[in-house]
Structure 1
Amino acid sequence: MTPTTLTKRADFLAANRGLRVARPGFVLLVRPNSGPNGGQGVRYGITVTKKIGNAVVRNRMKRRFRELLRAALPQHGLPDHDHVLIGREGGVERDFAQLSQELEIALQRASEGKGDRARRPRQGDRGGNRRVT
């Protein structure tokens, strides 16, 4: 089964409440996507923030991640789960083969249910960029 792409913001936010596996080049988020009609298959999404670099750098990183996921998810992806890759600072410079290995390890850890500890919530951030005066 070929993986499909996540398009809705709500799906990305739901994945953020799932299992988190951090690697040097990326963070993998995994969450079951089963609904009332059963699972929706293997789905993936990619996020790279503006902190990483300009548009050229971000797009290059997204292309590399897309290719990694297309190669790894059919064999190693969790069935009926959403997989989200979040780019990290060193992800662009990392060797592609090394990223591929790290993704396989991250998917293996996720399938075993061994995620990293949860992030602590940000101080004062309650869903918006409010300026306190």
Structure 2
Amino acid sequence: MQGPASEDQPQPQAGPAQGTVAPLRLVRLKTRQEFLAVAGARRKFTTPGLMLQAMARPDSDPAAARVGFTASRKVGNAVTRNRAKRRLRALAADVVARRAQGGIDYVLIARQETATRSFALLREDLTTALGRLRLLREARP
């Protein structure tokens, strides 16, 4: 009788690499009241590809960030707006989860260029906006 296969055994999880920080847990903003609260904080930065609004929440979990996405009809028809929001969701999973501070509400607002701008430029736009709002977190050594 043979022992269990090695792939059936639990494998040790590799921890985060030295000098990196654990990604934030992203929670969605869903209600109009939440979006209006972030807009009311009047903390925003606009780039060619997107607009970022942010609001600090002192009572929140520093290992999580709440994120909302919106695209008005100025962006284009329904297909274009949906594509823009999909790209913003992918961008948030990539940049906000890894580089942004926790305990903050973020709203990413699509602009007309969001649907057609290259993803690398969108990533740069979001990183610039986070930096200008002083919401980038540094990697720990």
TM-score, normalized by length of structure 2?
Answer: 0.73
Instruction: State the partner residue of 1:31.
Output: 55
Q: Which runs of 5+ in 1 are unaligned?
A: 113-133
TM-score, normalized by length of structure 1?
Answer: 0.77
Where do 4+ consecutive residues of structure 1 move more than 3 Å? none
Could you say what the CA RMSD is over the residues aligned between the two structures, in angstroms? Answer: 1.6
Paired residues in the alignment total 110
Alignment equivalent of 2:116, drawn from 89, 93, 96: 93
Instruction: State the partner residue of 2:71.
Output: 48
Percent of residue pairs identical = 34
Q: Which runs of 5+ in 2 are unaligned?
A: 1-23, 136-141
Higher Rg of the two aligned structures: 2
Instruction: State the partner residue of 2:34.
Output: 11
| 1:74 is the counterpart of 2:97 | yes
SS in 2 for 1:89: coil
What is the rounded CA distance, in whole Å, between the counterparts of 1:9 and 1:33 in structure 2?
Answer: 17
Give the Å deviation of 1:75: 2.0
Give the Å deviation of 1:92: 1.4
**Residues 3 and 74 in structure 1, CA contact (< 8 A), matched pair in contact too:** yes
What is the rounded CA distance, in whole Å, between the counterparts of 1:6 and 1:49 in structure 2?
Answer: 16
